[in-house]
C-alpha cells in the first residue's frame, strides 16, 4: 500500500517549489470538480428541530440538604435517547425545542446543552407562556442557532402538538426536523392477560403521539422559510424537512414477554414507511431508528443486575454494550442533509443483533 507516498508527492507538488504553469490536466481536474454534485452540509446551522421526550434527570447534588440555587452550576444529567439527540442536533448548530411533559426534565436538558455548547451562549432563565395556546417554554427570543429550549407538552394531546409546531414557526419562522422519541414500555402481559385500558394508553403514547406530531410538524416544514441553498423543496427535488421516528428491534422481531411494546414499535416501523411514501414528493423525508438493548436510564433506572447487563451485552454480534450516543448519532445522521437521499428506511442500531439468527 503506497497511499502515504502518493499523498506526500501531492503535498510537495501543491505546496513547494517554483510556480509551474498550470498543466492542462489541472484545469480539467477543476472543471471535473465543478461538475460534481454539491456536497450536503454536515452542520445544521439555521435549522430548527423538535425532539420529543427530550427530558433528562440530574442526579441529586452531593449535599442535598441545601436547596439548589438557579445559578448553581449544572451537574451532568442522565441522558436518555431524546436528550442525547437534542444535544447532538444543537451541537451541530440547530435550534432545538426539547419537548417533554415534565418541564423540569426538559429544562435540565436545555440548560445542560446550552452550558455545554458555549458559556457565552448561556440559556435564559426566565420562563414564559407567550400565548395561552402555546406550550410553556423558556424565553430565548434573543438567541439563534446552536441552542436548546425547554418546552412543556404532552405529545398525546393534539392541542399541545399543534402548539409546538406553531411555536417553531412563530418564534423562528421555520421547522426542519422532527424527532419522535417518546415511548414507554407500557402495558404488561400477553393478549390473554393485558389490561385493555393500559393497552390503549400505551398505543397512544408510542404510536398516536408520533402521528400527531407529524400531523402538525409536516405542514409547518412545508410553510416555513427555507434559507439553505438547495432547500427549495417539493417537486423541484429539494428537501423541506426530515422526520425520524424511534422504533425498537422489538418492533422487528418477536420474543419479548409483553405484547404492547413490540406491537407499538412494529407500528412505528411501518408508519414510517407509509409516511415516507405519502410525503416524499413534498420533500419531507421520514426514517426510523430501531435501537437494540441499549444501556440507558430507561432500562437501568428500575434496577438491572450485573448478570442481566452482561447477558444483554452478549446478545449482539459485536458483543459490546450500546448506549445513548449510538442511538443519537444514527438519528443525527438521518435528520441532517447528509441523509438527503434516504427516506423510508429502518436503521437498526443493535450491534448486529437482528442480522443473525444466533450469536456465534
Ligand X SMILES: NC(=O)c1ccc[n+]([C@@H]2O[C@H](COP(=O)([O-])OP(=O)(O)OC[C@H]3O[C@@H](n4cnc5c(N)ncnc54)[C@H](O)[C@@H]3O)[C@@H](O)[C@H]2O)c1
167 is catalytic: no
Cross-sheet strand order for the sheet of 136-138: 127-128, 136-138, 147-152, 95-100, 48-52, 177-180, 241-246, 284-291, 346-349
* Residue nearest ligand X, Cβ-based: 183
How, if at all, do strands 136-138 and 127-128 pair? antiparallel
Site string for ligand X, 183-222 (x = CB under 6 A): x---------------------x---x-------------
- Site size toward ligand X, by CB under 6 A: 27
When binding is defined by CB under 6 A, the residue of 90, 177, 181, 213 that contacts ligand X is 181
Helix axes 260-279, 209-223, angle to 10 degrees: 20
What does the alpha-carbon distance between residue 188 and residue 194 come to, in Å, rounded to a whole number?
A: 6
Provide the greatest CA pair distance for the chain.
83
Helix axes 158-172, 209-223, angle to 10 degrees: 30
When binding is defined by CB under 6 A, the residue of 139, 154, 282, 338 that contacts ligand X is 154
Regarding 155 and contact with ligand X (CB under 6 A), the answer is: yes
Regarding 241 and contact with ligand X (CB under 6 A), the answer is: no
3-state class percentages of the chain: helix first, strand second, coil last, to nearest 5: 45, 15, 45
Site string for ligand X, 73-112 (x = CB under 6 A): -------xxx-----------------xxx--x-------
Nearer to ligand X, 44 or 250 (CB): 250
> Quick one: which segment of 119-127, 170-178, 293-301, 336-344 binds ligand X (CB under 6 A)?
293-301
By the 8 A CB rule, do 44 and 89 touch?
A: yes
Residues lying near ligand X in the complex (CB under 6 A) are found at 52-53, 55, 80-82, 100-102, 105, 154-156, 181-183, 205, 209, 246, 248, 291, 293-294, 296-299
Amino acid at each position: 500500500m503506497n497511499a502515504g507516498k502518493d499523498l506526500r508527492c501531492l503535498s510537495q507538488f501543491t505546496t513547494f517549489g517554483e510556480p509551474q504553469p498550470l498543466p492542462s490536466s489541472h484545469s480539467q481536474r477543476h472543471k471535473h470538480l465543478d461538475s460534481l454534485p454539491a456536497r450536503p452540509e454536515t452542520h445544521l446551522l439555521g435549522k430548527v428541530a423538535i425532539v420529543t421526550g427530550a427530558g433528562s434527570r440530574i442526579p441529586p447534588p452531593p449535599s442535598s440538604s441545601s436547596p439548589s440555587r438557579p445559578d448553581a452550576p449544572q451537574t451532568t444529567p442522565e441522558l436518555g435517547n431524546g436528550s442525547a439527540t437534542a444535544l447532538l442536533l444543537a451541537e451541530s448548530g440547530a435550534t432545538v425545542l426539547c419537548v417533554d411533559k415534565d418541564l423540569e426534565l426538559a429544562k435540565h436538558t436545555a440548560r445542560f446543552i446550552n452550558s455545554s455548547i458555549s458559556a457565552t451562549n448561556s440559556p435564559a432563565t426566565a420562563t414564559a407562556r407567550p400565548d395561552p395556546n402555546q406550550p410553556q417554554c423558556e424565553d430565548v427570543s434573543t438567541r439563534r442557532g446552536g441552542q436548546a429550549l425547554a418546552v412543556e407538552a404532552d405529545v398525546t394531546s393534539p392541542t399541545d402538538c399543534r402548539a409546538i409546531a406553531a411555536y417553531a414557526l412563530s418564534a423562528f419562522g421555520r421547522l426542519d426536523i422532527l424527532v419522535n422519541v417518546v415511548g414507554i414500555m407500557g402495558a404488561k402481559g400477553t393478549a390473554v392477560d393485558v389490561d385493555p385500558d393500559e393497552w390503549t394508553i400505551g398505543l397512544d403514547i408510542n404510536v398516536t403521539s408520533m402521528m400527531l406530531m407529524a400531523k402538525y410538524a409536516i405542514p409547518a416544514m412545508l410553510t416555513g422559510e427555507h434559507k439553505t441553498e438547495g432547500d427549495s423543496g417539493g417537486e423541484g427535488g429539494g428537501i423541506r424537512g426530515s422526520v425520524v421516528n424511534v422504533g425498537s428491534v422489538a418492533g422487528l422481531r418477536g420474543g419479548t414477554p409483553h405484547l404492547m411494546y413490540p406491537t407499538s414499535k412494529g407500528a412505528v416501523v411501518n408508519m414510517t414507511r407509509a409516511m415516507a411514501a405519502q410525503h416524499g414528493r413534498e420533500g419531507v423525508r421520514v426514517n426510523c431508528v430501531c435501537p437494540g438493548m441499549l444501556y440507558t436510564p430507561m432500562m437501568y433506572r428500575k434496577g438491572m443486575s450485573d448478570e442481566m447487563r452482561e447477558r444483554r451485552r452478549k446478545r449482539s454480534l459485536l458483543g459490546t454494550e450500546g448506549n445513548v450516543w449510538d442511538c443519537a448519532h444514527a438519528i443525527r445522521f438521518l435528520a441532517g442533509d447528509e441523509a438527503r437521499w434516504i427516506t423510508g428506511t429502518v436503521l437498526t442500531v443493535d450491534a448486529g443483533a437482528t442480522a443473525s439468527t444466533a450469536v456465534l
